[in-house]
Structure 1
Amino acid sequence: MVRVLIPLILVGILVFAIVDIIVIDNARVRGLPKFAWIPVVIVLPFIGPLLWFFLGRERLEEYSNGRYANDPAPTPEPGRRFGPIAPDDDPDFLGRLNREQEQEERIRELEKRLKELGDDKPKD
């Protein structure tokens, strides 16, 4: 039973390591490039996957949101900030409100003119 179980576990770890190497983000690979890790894992059946998991890949705690935990936070451009802002602080939102208000005023003016033109017609 053990003679069958140990090779199955080794093959499972080997396949898992190769799939992990293929799908992992390039920024999270340490030591060697991704294409070099695959032969290491295949040539060294037990040690290769262990090297990959302990030395070759960044852990999620170390690398999250596209940057490393020790990297300083990105600074926003002057006059802009990250994250949600209130609608009354958003210049795009305020500009859109002004455009909508101007359009409504034009529509009211046109409706008023149409009404005046309609009143000038002789009644039968």
Structure 2
Amino acid sequence: MLRYLPFLLVLALWIYAFIDCLNTPEEEVRGLPKVIWVIIILLFGEVLVGPIAWLVAGKTRHAPAGGSTPSQWHRNHRTEFVAPDDNPEFLKSLKDENKKDEKLLKDWEADLRRREDELKRRESGEEPTEG
């Protein structure tokens, strides 16, 4: 099993570099056009030259804003969490959904009453009235 490990690692790196290249916007690609990078990754993937060249030289790497570490950047740019019971938009959506459910329930009840009345008329031998 261990003899397949190097092959699997090369394959994983090859696939990662290929997908990363495809998902990278054109303006973040350095040195060569994106199409050429894809060809290099595919042609030279078995010897790791293509994927490593892409990871080292092909993509622009962004430093965090203000020279801070990624964890600090994430902490400073986190959106403020609002609990659902304090969120007016969420509460409004619940009220709207509740109104829809109430209307649907009233329609079902009216339909059920109409059907029950129709069944009672049939059982008593009366002709149903159109209306």
Higher share of residues assigned helix: 2
Which bin holds the TM-score, normalised by the shorter protein? 0.3 to 0.5
Q: TM-score, normalised by structure 1?
A: 0.47
Q: Give the TM-score, by structure 2 length.
A: 0.45
